[in-house]
Amino acid sequence: MLYRHRGLCEGAVDALEVAAGLEACGITDRTAARFRHRDVFSLAEELYARTPRGEEPADGTAPEPAGARTVVRRFGYALLPGALGCAAAAAGVPGAGLLGGLLAAAALVWPGRAPGRFPLTAHLLAAAAAAWAVHRQGPALGTALALTAAPGYLAAALFAARARRRLAGSRALDEFAAGARTPLAGALLLFAAAAAGAAALTGAAQASAVPLAVLLFLARLLLGHGAHRAPPAAALALALVPDPAALYAAVAGLLVHAFLALSRASAHARP
């Protein structure tokens, strides 16, 4: 077991990081029992303890997290879709609503690329869902979606930070899973409130703007945390069906999947 997962154990910062990686590899408590451990976390603790550590960097420093300048720059990028969408709508540019919808799809889903993969299908379906909704509902919907890009960035960053803190403080995978659902629910409520405010500001129909924005946001979270592209792509494809019930069904299905997938410790392990 140690030989098979040596790279994981050497790169982990703590035992829970190892447990998250083992979970992602399909190791269960039943597997751990074969190695005379009560659960995956107990097995991870032994693997982590048995793994020889390389020497620290010569200067004794550790890699620094993204600085304040990087965070500000990324937030500035997130503000661009809303600013461009509002400017195009105010100037009466033809196709301003469509432009806003496409900018929103790019901003909400593109930053959610799964590491090492390029889920082009999900991105194209997100753009198609936004464009189709704007075509049916009117240009105000596109502007409203564009305004949700910045709140989407903030809500996703807040969820990721809180989940990482819970991962660092948990002592078991079940404990983390129970604690991760609260930050996820909070991020979703925060984003939904922002989407409702954007719809009210632009005059878009909230019954269409809010669920579509939430669908794009869920796709961002799942892809950004390494989830498989198939569930988001299927939900976005369902949103293309010209029936309001299809959009709600897509959101409901992806919401259930998100609560299952994003409550796994492996979804928050360091890349």
Q: How far apart are CA 270 and CA 264, in angstroms?
A: 13
How many residues in total does the chain contain? Answer: 271
Q: With 0-12 CB in 10 A as exposed, 13-18 as middle and 19+ as buried, what is 38?
A: exposed
Mean pLDDT, rounded, for 136-148? 90
Q: What is the pTM of this model?
A: 0.73
Looking at the predicted structure, is the pLDDT value of residue 160 above 80? yes
3-class secondary-structure state, position 154: helix
Which of 50-54, 111-115, 206-210 is most confident?
Answer: 206-210
Q: With 0-12 CB in 10 A as exposed, 13-18 as middle and 19+ as buried, what is 121?
A: middle
3-class secondary-structure state, position 261: helix
**Which tokens in the block code for residue 71?**
């965070």
> What pLDDT band is residue 93 in, cutting at 50, 70 and 90?
confident
**pLDDT the model gives residue 65:** 47
CA angle 163–168–173, rounded 5-degree value: 80
